[in-house]
């Protein structure tokens, strides 16, 4: 942890002039986070639902949101990771995850667990009968 903190301090000092989200992402984000942020922007532009799983993916979504405000509207956050910074990202973005199970595997397990909830919600919205179509009366 001390080494990671030192590397981060060096990176922040070396990139003190980075001001825009793109500059900050390019200076500190790494290729994979920038690639994920671009994928989030493209998926949101294509009106796709984005299932966000874990800390690193949430960091990429935060960058995508900074670059293209509104992408959060396409995002469903699968879970809150056990990693401390993840809860802070979720608070910063003002989002609530579907699950809070202290997952920390980083292998898409949160998305896999959230998927049945999402498919059930879609089925309910698409197929659930209304009171009228089911013949339910408001009378006692």
Helix, strand, coil: what percent of the chain each, to 5?
60, 10, 30
User: What distance in Å separates the CA atoms of residue 64 and residue 93, rounded to the nearest whole number?
Assistant: 11
Active site residue 140: no
Report the alpha-carbon distance of residue 58 to residue 110 in Å, rounded: 12
Which residue among 32, 83, 107, 132 is the active-site one?
A: 107
**Residue 67: which residues within 8 A CB-CB, separation 6 or more?**
21, 22, 25, 37, 41
* Residues forming the active site: 107
């Amino acid at each position: 942890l001390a080494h990671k903190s030192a590397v981060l301090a060096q990176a922040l000092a070396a990139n003190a002039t980075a001001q825009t989200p793109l500059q900050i992402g390019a200076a500190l984000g790494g290729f994979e986070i920038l690639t994920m942020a671009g994928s989030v922007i493209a998926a949101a532009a294509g009106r796709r639902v984005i299932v966000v799983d874990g800390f690193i993916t949430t960091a990429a979504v935060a960058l995508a949101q900074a670059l293209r405000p509104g992408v959060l509207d396409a995002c469903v956050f699968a879970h809150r990771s056990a990693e401390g910074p993840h809860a802070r990202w979720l608070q910063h973005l003002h989002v609530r995850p579907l699950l809070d199970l202290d997952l920390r595997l980083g292998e898409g397990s949160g998305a896999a667990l959230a998927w049945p909830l999402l498919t059930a919600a879609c089925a309910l919205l698409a197929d659930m009968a209304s009171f009228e179509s089911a013949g339910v009366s408001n009378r006692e």
